[in-house]
Amino acid sequence: MGEYKQSGMHIIPVGGGKDSCVTAQLLRGEKEKNLFFTVNDQPARTDTVRAAGYTDSAILRTYRTIDKNLLQLNKDGFLNGHTPFSAIVAFLSFYCAYLVGARDIVLSNESSANEANIAGTEVNHQYSKSYAFECDFAKYAERNLVPDIRYFSLLRPFSELQIAKQFAAFTQYHETFRSCNRGSKQNVWCAKCAKCLFVFSILSPFLPYDRLCELFGADMLNDSDLLSDFDGLCGFSEVKPFECVGTVSEIVFALHKTVENFCAAGKKLPVLLQHFAQTAGEYTGENLLLEYNAKNNVPDEFFEAVKEMYEYVSADC
C-alpha cells in the first residue's frame, strides 16, 4: 500500500442501528479523534452521527453499486448468494483508514454474532460480524496490507441484550435509529420482519412498552403473523432467522423480563408474549446482564469505555 502516515484518528463504521449509536456515545470523550464511516447514504446513518453531536464533515462516505449483469441474472431466474456486507465494510474502511492515517477501525459487533443460525452446525448468517472473522481479517491485513491499523470491535465483550439495555439509556438516538433491511431505503421499520421483531423484543424489557410501540409504529408482540419468526428467535424451532439477530438465550431472557414487567403492572400479555409464557415455562438460567466475553481484541486504552458500559448494564441486577 505504500508509506503509511498515522494521524491517530478512529474510524467508526455506522449502520444506523443501536450498536453503532452505543459505540459513538461511549467514545464521546475522543470526539476530536472520531471519524464515522458509511457505505451508501441512508438517513439513519447520518442522523446517528448528528445525534452524537457531530456535523456531516465527520463522515467518510463510500458507495457501492450492483453489477447490472447480476440484476439481469436475477431477472433470468438465478438466485443470489448472501452478500457478506460486514466484510465489504472491513476492506473499504481499512482503505479509508489508510488514506486518512487512522490508527483504529472501531466496530460495534457484539458477542452474539458468533452463534450459528442452525442448531448443531456452524452455519452463521453473521460470520463476517463474528469474532472469528475479526481475528482472521486483522491477521490478513497485518500480513498483506498495513500492520499499523487496528481492526476490532469495542462491543465484542457484550451481548445484544446488554447493548439493548445500554442503548435504552441513550434517548437522543431513539427517534432516528433503524435496523430494518426491508425498510432501509424508506428509513422506516417495516414491523413485519424477523429483524424488526428481534430489535423490538430485545428492547422490550428496557423501554416503556407504549414508547416502544410508538418508535416502531406497531405492537409487534401482538402480531400473530410473526409467530414463525418468533419461534425461531426463541429457539422453539431449529432454525434461527437468517438475519443479524441475537442468541436464543438472550432473547429468552429479555422476554421473561418483559413478561415480569407486564405482570407486575397488571397488564394483559400481547399474543406472542402469551405464547412465550406458555411455551418457555419458568426461567431458571443465569442473569445474562452480568456476562462478559473475554474473547475480544479491545486495546487497553479503550478499557475505560468498556468498563463504563459494563458497570451500567450490570447494575441493579
Query: What are the pLDDT digits (tens) for 180-216?
Result: 988 888 999 999 999 999 999 999 999 999 999 999 9
Which pLDDT belongs to residue 123? 73
For residue 267, is it within any domain? yes
Print burial letters for 74-95: b (CB count within 10 Å at least 16), e (below 16): eeeeeeeeeeeebeebbebbbe
Backbone angles phi, psi at 6, to 5 degrees: -85, 135
pLDDT (tens digit, 9 = 90+) per residue, 222-247? 999 999 999 999 999 987 877 778 89
Coil, strand or helix at 118:
strand
Is 271 a domain residue? Answer: yes
Residue 3 lies in a domain: no
Same-domain check for residues 13 and 77: yes
> Residue 1 domain-assigned?
no
Q: Are residues 121 and 173 in the same domain?
A: yes
Domain check: are 270 and 168 in the same one?
Answer: no
Same domain, residue pair 47 and 171: yes
Q: Are residues 172 and 213 both part of a single domain?
A: no
- Write the pLDDT tens digit of every residue in 281-296: 899 899 999 999 999 9
- Domain shared by 93 and 237, yes or no: no
Same domain, 134 and 227: no
Same-domain check for residues 12 and 114: yes
Least Cα distance to 163 among 37, 15, 306, 13 occurs for: 306
Say how many domains are in the chain: 2
**pLDDT (tens digit, 9 = 90+) per residue, 260-271?**
999 999 999 999
Task: Answer yes or no: do 122 and 27 share one domain.
Answer: yes
The pTM is what? 0.93
- The residue segments making up the domain with residue 237 are 187-285
